[in-house]
Amino acid sequence: MDTLWLEYYCHPDCEPLKNIMRLPRDEAFALAKQLTDSHPETTAFYRFADFENYYPRRLETDKLLYGMFQKLGGKPQCEHPLSFVLGSSAYLHQWFGSGQILRIPLSAIEEDRISFTVGDSMSTLSREGALQMFTLPMVKAAIRSHPEGARGWLADTLQGHQYMEAQVWGDVALPQEAL
């Protein structure tokens, strides 16, 4: 099987491997305001400009993802996952201000702590009204059965989407090669 990895994109003024939704509500709103006020032209923070709308939609999406993942046999360690990309996304790297990229081998994440959705989970849910979630065993099986391996499967699966989002349901210890 092809070697697979996850990438995490981080704006230059942010701390990597954090999720604003893991903060208490008041702290999340304060951080969202600080980020939008100090970076009015930054694409990554436009979603926080209307945090009153974003916050409940993100809560709802994360709750749905959590339930879907559990039904598929996942064992989340938290309510709000860290968002990665399976493979790479030049689009997201630019979206996050061409900041830091952390690359982690997919093998560094426990199978029952990761799920995948086609495209950005929140936007896909808003636009299409439904999400297709994959577990790591499902992804591996699909890749093994595709005649062109991981690249072919991703190309076929991502029709109309920029990337495959990976939700890591817990904290991530960075392996040495990710640093």
Spell out a b/e string for 93-117, using b for 16 or more CB atoms within 10 Å of the CB, else e: bebbbebebbbbebeebeebbbbbb
Bridge partners, residue 134, by sequence? 116
Give tens-digit pLDDT for 7-55: 999 888 888 899 999 999 999 999 999 999 998 887 778 888 899 999 9
What residues does each domain of the chain span? Answer: 5-178
Q: Collapse the DSSP code of 48 into the 3-class scheme (helix H, G, I; strand E, B; otherwise coil) and give the result.
A: helix
* Strand 114-118, strand 82-86: pairing: unpaired
Percent with pLDDT over 70 in the chain: 96
Burial label for 146, CB within 10 Å (0-12, 13-18, 19+), is middle
Question: pLDDT band at residue 152, thresholds of 50, 70 and 90?
Answer: very high
- Averaged pLDDT of the chain: 89
Give tens-digit pLDDT for 57-77: 999 999 999 999 999 999 999
Lowest mean pLDDT among 49-53, 63-67, 78-82, 122-126: 122-126
Percent with pLDDT over 90 in the chain: 60
Q: What is the pLDDT of residue 161?
A: 87
Q: What is the pLDDT of residue 43?
A: 76
pTM of the model: 0.91
